Chain A
Amino acid sequence: QVQLQESGPGLLKPSETLSLTCAVSISSDHWWSWLRQPPGKGLEWIGEMYHGRGTHYNPSLKSRVTLSVDKSKNQFSLNLTSVTAADTAVYYCARLQSYSVDVWGQGTTVTVSS
């Protein structure tokens, strides 16, 4: 049973960079993804990465997002620059399979406030 665990700072100031990591056993057979959900709202896909093969980003966030994998540490990471209050959300790391999200982390809450 694959389990995913997000970690990172819960509070950021506007213009700072959000950095989150996800502990996971990175396999070469899956795409890995980050998604987020603002309070009381729906789900937004941030991007996906296939270790050693490619990365895709949501066009609306592409200029601020970087995904990376450190296979030696079994970590999948998200960097989001120049955050604003609109980036306040629960952030999920996830595994993709069959064009769907089949495994979700429990989520970590990130608040952007001055």
Chain B
Amino acid sequence: EIVLTQSPGTLSLSPGERATLSCRTSQSVSGSYIAWYQQRPGQAPRLLIYYSSRRATGIPDRFSGSGSGTDFTLTISRLEPEDFAVYFCQQYGTSPPMYTFGQGTKVEIK
């Protein structure tokens, strides 16, 4: 089973700043199988990025995804107040077919 490790655990930033979140996989994976989610308190997660770099429907262009191999990144170019939340990366594995998630990165107001 592939393990996803997100860093940092918590990111303290101010509105308007740039956020860079990391997701490292324990084995090389296809970028097609990486997704990112945002979860606000008391809400279900929301898909932000799929195929490692494609924005989901309705997601602002300040969110971007990149990476390959074992290192993937979610970047929020300029933080808006509603962006302070927890972010999860996710990988789809084929043998066996299954979805695994990172432990999450909390982006909090500094």
Which residue numbers of A lie inside 8 Å of B, CB to CB? 33, 35, 42-45, 48, 56, 58-59, 92, 97-102, 104-107
Contact = CB atoms under 8 A, between A and B. Distances in A.
Interface in B91-110: 92, 96-104
B33 A104 contact: no
Contact of A92 (B44, B90, B92): B44
10 contacts: A35-B99, A42-B103, A43-B45, A59-B98, A97-B50, A99-B35, A100-B47, A101-B45, A101-B90, A104-B44
B96 A43 contact: no
B37 interface: yes
Interface string B7-43: 0000000000000000000000000110101000000
A42 B102 contact: yes
Interface of B: 1, 32-33, 35, 37, 44-47, 50-51, 54, 56, 88, 90, 92, 96-104
A34 to B, nearest CB: 11
A42 B101 contact: yes
Contacts of A43: 37, 45, 88, 90, 101
With a 10 A CB-CB cut-off, give which of A35, A58, A97, A99 has the most chain B CB atoms.
Answer: A99
Given A42-B102, A45-B101, A106 B44 contact: yes
A18 to B, nearest CB: 19
A58 B98 contact: yes
Contact of A101 (B32, B37, B51): B37
A102 B90 CA distance: 12
A42 B45 contact: no
Nearest to A62: B96
Given A42-B102, A44-B101, A59-B98, A99 B44 contact: no
